[in-house]
Structure 1
Amino acid sequence: MTLPPLVCTLVDASVDAAAVVDRKLELLYFNQQYLRLAGLRRRELVGRRVRGMCHEHFGLETCTEACVASRSFELGRTVRVDEVSSGRLGLRLIVVAIPLVDSSGEVYAVIEQYRDVTAEGRLQDNYRALLERERAQKHLLAQEVARQTAELERVNESLLAALTEVSRVARTDGLTGLANRRAFDEQLRDLLARAERRRTPLSLILFDLDHFKRVNDQFGHPAGDQLLQEFARALTASVREAHLVSRVGGEEFAVLLPGASWEDGQRVATRVQERARQVGLGTTASAGVAGFPSDADDAMELLRAADWALYAAKRAGRNCVVCARSLRDGAPRPRDGGTDDELLALRTPENVD
């Protein structure tokens, strides 16, 4: 822990033995008077815990600095123990623990002071002077902490806004404004884990625009981009707010439906196709539907099952919805023996366009 310079200055300015300890009661800082009182060299104290120092080095008989520091942390206020007898040193001491409070009101450290009260007159003069210096130092420290806290809050707000924007951009498809593949993968993993915990279904729909390459070739990429944007709007307007819509590839889109079975997914996919026809996009979309746990046990299987169903829809003539459960021997389900190589074999130009 790095202490504010003013705290170290306060400790150094103390006419009595003084040290700063953290919540673990480890020494963070101490002055020369503390070294002399302990009868140790600096390297013998660095990083040492104060618990046990009382009897071993100070010879205190009735109270320990560990007790005082712990009480100061617990109570959040200065704790003082008067007239502690030090048989080894032949002194009577006052042990004072002063909490250091941060801007949130939490005690982050305690200053411990050992005052020699053998001569009562010297005690009174020195203690008044110490309190006056302490008030002045605390006032300066509070002003500095307030200034730095305000500045840190401004920096944190700016940083948070920047990080939020970076995260949004990193998870958003720039053309359609939908979630991108990275966000989709995260959503699929998280939603599937939640579905497993709650034992609820999850369905996945994959859409692929039919003959999209022809649109690009015939009318140019700007027309293709406009078609993607229009389909994204039609897709978003056809699903519920709880459904998560993503663009996962060039002309490929995905919808995750938490709590929905594959039958629910089939109905949503049909509704999306009807919506696309109503708005007159000038093209159609094929869809593949798969569900958890009916068609897959994990995220990879679920994605693969929906992919098989999608390309089965392509082979069936496009502009239709195929569910993984309905696939027959001509297009085996992945869990029935379909492999990635077989799926890649389906991705021929005539199937994927």
Structure 2
Amino acid sequence: MDDWVNGGVVSSDLMRELQLFRAIADHSQAVIGAKDLEGRYLFVNGEYSRLFHRAGHEFIGRTDLELFPPEIAREFRKADLRVQKNRQTLQFEEVAPVDGQLRHFLSVKFPIFDQNGELYATGLIATDITSLRQLNNELKLLADTDGLTGLHNRRKFFEIGQQEVQRAQRYNFALSLVMFDLDHFKAINDQFGHAVGDRVLCDFAHLLAGKVRSNDSLGRLGGEEFAVLMPHTSVTQAVSWVERLQKRLRNWALKLDDGSTVRLSVSAGISPLDVDQNNFEQMLSRADGLLYEAKAAGRDCVIYQAE
């Protein structure tokens, strides 16, 4: 650097380097900046001005606490201090207010050393990942959801079931699993067509969703099989709930455009979590067996394992 500076005057070579860096930084869509060890801004690129509606010079010499809401500024400072302490590049997911809304940023923060190896600043390059997070959330929802009914699919329901079994075992509360199968569903498809069958599935899912509590979990396990996981619920309580649902279904009918009517009943099997069941898979297997006992017993009934 000594050959770039003569008598305190910036050489033309260094000036070109600085202009080149400024042009690159200002035309980048990333947020690029640097702060001293006390958190005062030394440099910001044009993206700061565009996003936060301040002239670049308004950042210089000021801290995040003077520029951003306190809770956000504290998180920025906490990340900077971690970089200073570890003296290595770290990644953080941070939020900042942009046009009245919180945007999510992936921030790469790194230590900056002088020519003597002394740490004197923290640099950052941050990219707005809000849209990417939204897309990831949408993809996750699609991966977790049954496309027809909007309920949890089998994989997601199984994941929730494993978590609920662990919670029930840890905190020693009752947990009941109810499995349903729509009676004579194949006959409905054969007589009325698959489009009507899909309407029946959706209507039953909607009916279930309106009858459960906020802490219960619903899932379509495949075909015409559904399940409800009920924390803090004994088998006796689950049986009463199923019987009320079955009674409601006996008065339910789907009226079609041609004047015909589709009626529906369901069989159910209920398994509680007991000492012999160490995981959700065992609980599910037991409920499935009880469900098929209910179907063999004439359908439109519930078979359960006593506690």
State the distance in 2 between where 1:194 and 1:203 align.
Answer: 13
Partner residue of 1:269 out of 223, 229, 242: 242
Secondary structure of the residue aligned to 1:325 is coil
Specify the alignment match of 1:197 in structure 2.
170
Q: Which amino acid aligns with 1:270?
A: E
Secondary structure of the residue aligned to 1:303 is helix
Partner residue of 1:254 out of 206, 219, 227: 227
Q: Does 1:104 align with 2:76?
A: yes
Secondary structure of the residue aligned to 1:104 is helix
State the distance in 1 between where 2:235 and 2:144 align.
Answer: 26
Specify the alignment match of 2:267 in structure 1.
286
Alignment of 1:67-216 (within 5 A): 104-105=76-77, 106-107=80-81, 108=83, 109-112=111-114, 114=116, 149=126, 152-153=127-128, 156-216=129-189
Q: Identity rate of aligned residues, in percent?
A: 38
State the distance in 2 between where 1:301 and 1:12 align.
Answer: 76
Q: Is the 8 A contact 2:252 2:264 kept in 1?
A: no
Structure 1 gap ranges (5+): 1-9, 16-71, 78-100, 116-133, 327-353
State the distance in 2 between where 1:266 and 1:157 align.
Answer: 45
Q: Rate the CA distance shift 1:230–1:269 in 2: closer, same or farther, 3 A.
A: same
Q: Is the 8 A contact 1:238 1:275 kept in 2?
A: no
Alpha-carbon offset, residue 271 of structure 1: 2.1
Alpha-carbon offset, residue 222 of structure 1: 0.7
State the distance in 2 between where 1:322 and 1:296 align.
Answer: 18
Specify the alignment match of 2:60 in structure 1.
none
Specify the alignment match of 2:287 in structure 1.
306
Alpha-carbon offset, residue 258 of structure 1: 1.2
Alpha-carbon offset, residue 273 of structure 1: 1.3
Q: Which amino acid aligns with 2:174?
A: P
Q: Is the 8 A contact 1:210 1:318 kept in 2?
A: yes
Alpha-carbon offset, residue 14 of structure 1: 8.8
State the distance in 2 between where 1:104 and 1:215 align.
Answer: 60
- RCO comparison, higher one (Cα < 8 Å, 6+): 2
Secondary structure of the residue aligned to 1:322 is strand
Q: Is the 8 A contact 1:289 1:324 kept in 2?
A: yes
State the distance in 2 between where 1:198 and 1:223 align.
Answer: 44
Q: What number of residue pairs does the alignment pair up? A: 206
Larger Rg: 1
More helix per residue = 1
Give me the TM-score of the superposition, normalised by structure 1: 0.52
Give me the TM-score of the superposition, normalised by structure 2: 0.60
Q: Which amino acid aligns with 1:111?
A: F
State the distance in 2 between where 1:284 and 1:13 align.
Answer: 86
Which whole-Å deviations, capped at 9, do the CAs of 1:113-172 have from their partners, x for residues lacking one? Answer: 559xxxxxxxxxxxxxxxxxx9xxx9xx98xx5xx53xx12xx10110000000001111
Q: Is the 8 A contact 1:286 1:319 kept in 2?
A: yes
Secondary structure of the residue aligned to 2:269 is strand
More strand per residue = 2
Q: Rate the CA distance shift 1:111–1:217 in 2: closer, same or farther, 3 A.
A: same
Q: Rate the CA distance shift 1:12–1:286 in 2: closer, same or farther, 3 A.
A: farther
Q: Is the 8 A contact 2:175 2:272 kept in 1?
A: yes
Specify the alignment match of 2:43 in structure 1.
none
Specify the alignment match of 1:235 in structure 2.
208
Partner residue of 1:317 out of 295, 298, 301: 298
Q: Does 1:220 align with 2:193?
A: yes
Secondary structure of the residue aligned to 2:227 is strand
Q: Which amino acid aligns with 2:274?
A: P
